[in-house]
Amino acid sequence: MSILTIDLLRQLSETPGGPGDEEAIRNLIARAIHPHVDELSIDNIGNLIAFKKGTGTSGLKAAAAAHMDEIGFMITKIDDDGLLHVARSGGVNPRTVLGKRVQVGPDRIPGVIAVRPPHLAEDWRKESQQVPKIRDLVIDIGAKDKDEAKSKVKPGQYAVFQTPFRLLGLEEPLPADAPLPASGRISGKAFDDRLGCAALMELLAGPRLPFDFYGVFTVQEEIGLRGAQVAGGWLEPDIAFILEGTTCPDTPGAPDQKPTPATTRLGHGPAITQMDRSHITPPRLLQYVLRTAQARGIPYQFKHPNTGGTDAAGFTRQRGIPAIIISTPARYIHAPVAISDLGDFWNGVALVRAALEDLPDFF
């Protein structure tokens, strides 16, 4: 039986957790998977490591990883008017943030990223085509002055987007405790990489594998793959599967622009990365996963072009651990809201599970 319900995926999406501030999302994941694993631990950098003992028929040691952190902002100072100045924390897309709702600090103080109304612009058309610099943005939490703002928020705390999770296209709403549907589309924030976290949780809740299995929920991926480098060096697994949310620009652009080449397409299956700017999948491992997908009738697609970077590089750089990235495509990634396809998600879970089950044959 699946561990994933609609409400659990909603919590995974909506819970804040910027780089270096993953405690709330880590606690949520730990509570959910605790009954399904043999050990849980937190390492010095903050990674959550779940251990599930194997049946003993194989001496392999495998790991799968998904990062808990999401893009956001760090509060750098509070001005006399009570506005919060920020710095980027991860790859925030500045074109998407003006006027968006955020939640600030451990108390989840609601705020809005300030934007000047067009009525006050000297040249509204020109200003509307300019991309703001992150350093010029401020968050308004409704404080009347600096003292009131400081009573609620401190410099060094984090802000992330505040976006409700939704199932799209339903004729009637489903109860929150209903199992996550096998198909349909969803919207929400932080699908990079809470969808990977959900997939890893589902794998950990499944049957025992022939070998010992580690599920690693990493920290600080968005600012340099830091958690993965620590985990890879400490665990030294024989192989690592990286579960991600990845780009999906399969929508048309403006009429006067050339269409953006689609990295992936919704509904075409999980995305397998052959190479990105930080990692090359070992050819033998890539072919093994492709054969597994074809033998099980699991749809898949390749991620193109070779952009971005993931925790795969963090594992590989330590001790040359072979790693492969399997992702759920997400439209509008690194923005306040994304859209993904549940069929892609579940096929990704099925592909990783099948590859793990047959792994002794690969070695």
**What's the rounded Cα separation, in Å, for the pair 363 and 352?**
16
DSSP letters for 144-198: SSHHHHHTT--TT-EEEE----EEES-SSPPPTTSBPPSS-EEEES-HHHHHHHH
Contacts of 183 by beta carbon, 8 Å cutoff, 6+ apart: 341, 342, 343
Contacts of 239 by beta carbon, 8 Å cutoff, 6+ apart: 60, 62, 63, 285, 321, 322, 323, 359, 362
- Alpha-carbon distance values, 55 to 2, 60, 199 (Å): 21, 11, 22
**What's the rounded Cα separation, in Å, for the pair 21 and 103?**
13
| 221 belongs to the catalytic site | yes
Confirm if 334 and 189 have CB atoms less than 8 A apart. Answer: no
- Alpha-carbon distance values, 234 to 63, 131, 228, 288, 322 (Å): 12, 42, 10, 26, 15
**What's the rounded Cα separation, in Å, for the pair 198 and 66?**
9
Is cis: bond before 305, omega within 30 of 0?
yes
**What's the rounded Cα separation, in Å, for the pair 255 and 271?**
28
Angle subtended by helix axes 226-235 and 311-319, to nearest 10: 40
Among residues 14, 70, 221, 222, which one is catalytic? 221
Catalytic residue annotation: 221
